[in-house]
Amino acid sequence: MAKLSPETTAIIDQLRQQLTEIINDATAAEFIIFVRHGETDRTLIVLDETKNISQEASSRFNQLCNLQLRIAEAQPIATSDILELLAYTIERTQNRIPAWERSIEEVKLDWNLP
């Protein structure tokens, strides 16, 4: 059976939780800025930035879910290619999360958001 180690599964679960928080924070910031200030030349840049963060995090979330599903469906074992792709996706996501979080924090500070 193709089954991920408990450690890898825990890492994926943690990343998905972090990505969910990033999506929520970026979307909330976008919404609050839009409601408070509307669509202006000044807000369009930050609205696009928060939308891009949310979309990129959503895409990464979906990649992790799809890879985990493909591995679970692989029989009798997962191929090395898909396991390498999962490892690459995990590493890329772990490296990208701090930048997304930093960007959202900067938006919150710049626009006095909660």
**Confidence category of residue 2, pLDDT binned at 50, 70, 90:** confident
**Considering the entire predicted model, what is its pTM?**
0.94
**Confidence category of residue 5, pLDDT binned at 50, 70, 90:** very high
Whether 109 shows a pLDDT value over 60: the answer reads yes
What mean pLDDT is reported for the chain? 96
Domain boundaries, the chain: 6-110
Whether 110 shows a pLDDT value over 60: the answer reads yes
Q: Can you list the pairs that 28-32 forms with residues at least 24 positions away whose Cβ atoms lie under 8 Å?
A: 29/104, 29/107, 29/108, 29/111, 29/113, 30/54, 32/111, 32/113, 32/114
Whether 1 shows a pLDDT value over 60: the answer reads no
Whether 79 shows a pLDDT value over 90: the answer reads yes
What letter does residue 74 receive in the DSSP assignment? Answer: -
Model confidence over 27-55: pLDDT tens digits?
999 999 999 999 999 999 999 999 999 99
- Report the pLDDT value the prediction gives residue 103, as an integer from 0 to 100: 98
